Amino acid sequence: MALPSSIIVINTSYQEKAKEFLDHLLILGHSSHGAKTKTRYTKEFLSYIEQSGKQELKTALQPGTSKIITTIL
C-alpha cells in the first residue's frame, strides 16, 4: 500500500465517496483507527481507477435483492 500522504484522489465524487465510507464505518461502530485504515485502502483503489481513466461510479440495487452493485465506468 502506498504511503497515505502519496494517495491523491482528485475527482470530487470519489473524495465524497471516501468520506461517506469513513462516516458509515464510524456509524457502524468501527474504531477510528480501523475506519481510517479501511478508508485509506479505499482511497488507494479510487486513485488507481482514477488513474486508469475511470471517472464515474454507478451504484444500483441488484434486481430482486438488496445487494448493492457498483459499476466503474
Q: What pLDDT score does 29 carry?
A: 95
pLDDT tens across the length of the chain (73 residues): 555 556 777 788 888 888 989 999 999 999 999 999 999 998 888 888 888 887 777 665 556 666 656 666 5
Domain count of the chain? Answer: 1
For residue 31, the enclosing domain spans: 4-72
Torsional sign, CA 56, 46, 38, 6: negative
Q: Side-chain half-sphere of 57: how many Cα atoms within 13 Å?
A: 17
User: What Å distances lie between residue 34 and 1, 14, 30, 38, 52, CA to CA?
Assistant: 15, 20, 6, 6, 27
